[in-house]
Amino acid sequence: MKRQEQIRKDLIEVFNRRYATKKFDQTKKISNEDWQIIMEAARLSPSSFGYEPWKFLLIENQQIKEDLKDLAWGAVNSLNGASHFIICLARNDVTADSKYAKYMVEEVFHNQYEEHSPRTDAFRNFQANDFQLNDSKSLFEWACKQTYIALGNMLTTAAWLGIDSCPIEGFNREKVSSYLIDHNLMDPEHYGLSHMAGFGYRDQQITPKTRQPLDKIYEVIK
């Protein structure tokens, strides 16, 4: 019981210590060991039907960082000081009949791919009828939603490790996408741009949380 109490306390502390860091200490670098755990949190994240419709680009190239500053106003703080800077891509091609689905079923789920297996049929039906994911734009937005689950896990994992972070949507999607395509960093046949994130160590006080009380956002239905 004592242990459970401690876990509860630790969890809330971690959620309070995670905040959207505006100023990073550019002299402090995340260790490779810690970074691998953050990426493992992304890799192990859940996704709809398990198709993992994401790719994470760790941007180490200084010129790319400089170029992004003009296109991504919300990323400037991270680009200036974060130890690690991520661009997350979401797939736009995950359908039951895609090459990618066949690859996932065979290479990752270790099943035989069949056009009309119960899994493939259920997935096709879900996309067509339940969620009406019938074009690459809606497939892309559906995949983006899932990348945010990985993002949340990465932010929380970083906080557990004493690492600060900032999630980023402050960019012109069209301009950054064109940049990534022009620099061969994103193949638009398979991917679109979802979000960015910076990870590192703060060079400022933690911003205290401003949140609505639970009763404004939570209702128990009896």
When asked if residue 68 is in the footprint of ligand FMN (CB under 6 A), the reply is no
Least distance from C-beta 15 to ligand FMN, angstroms?
Answer: 9
Q: According to CB under 6 A, which residues from 146 to 185 bind ligand FMN?
A: 166-170
Q: Does 115 bind ligand FMN (CB under 6 A)?
A: no
- The CB-of-164 to ligand FMN minimum distance in angstroms stands at 10
Q: Inter-axis angle of helices 62-69 and 173-182, to 10 degrees? A: 150
Smallest distance, ligand FMN to C-beta of residue 207, A? 5
In whole angstroms, give the CA distance from residue 192 to residue 145: 12
Other beta carbons within 10 Å of 28? 15
- Binder of ligand FMN out of 37, 74, 161, 175 (CB under 6 A): 74
**Do the Cβ atoms of 24 and 168 come closer than 8 Å?**
no
Q: Which of 210, 173, 183 is nearest to 90 (CA)?
A: 173
For residue 104, state whether it binds ligand FMN (rule: CB under 6 A).
no
Q: Give yes or no for residue 193 binding ligand FMN (CB under 6 A).
A: no
Q: How far lies 175's CA from each of 70, 160, 166, in Å?
A: 10, 34, 21
Instruction: For the CB of residue 44, give the shortest distance to ligand FMN in the complex, in Å.
Output: 20
The yes or no reply on residue 85 touching ligand FMN (CB under 6 A) is no
Neighbours of 138 (CB within 10 A): 14
Question: For binding to ligand FMN (CB under 6 A), which residues are involved?
Answer: 19-20, 22, 74, 166-170, 207, 209
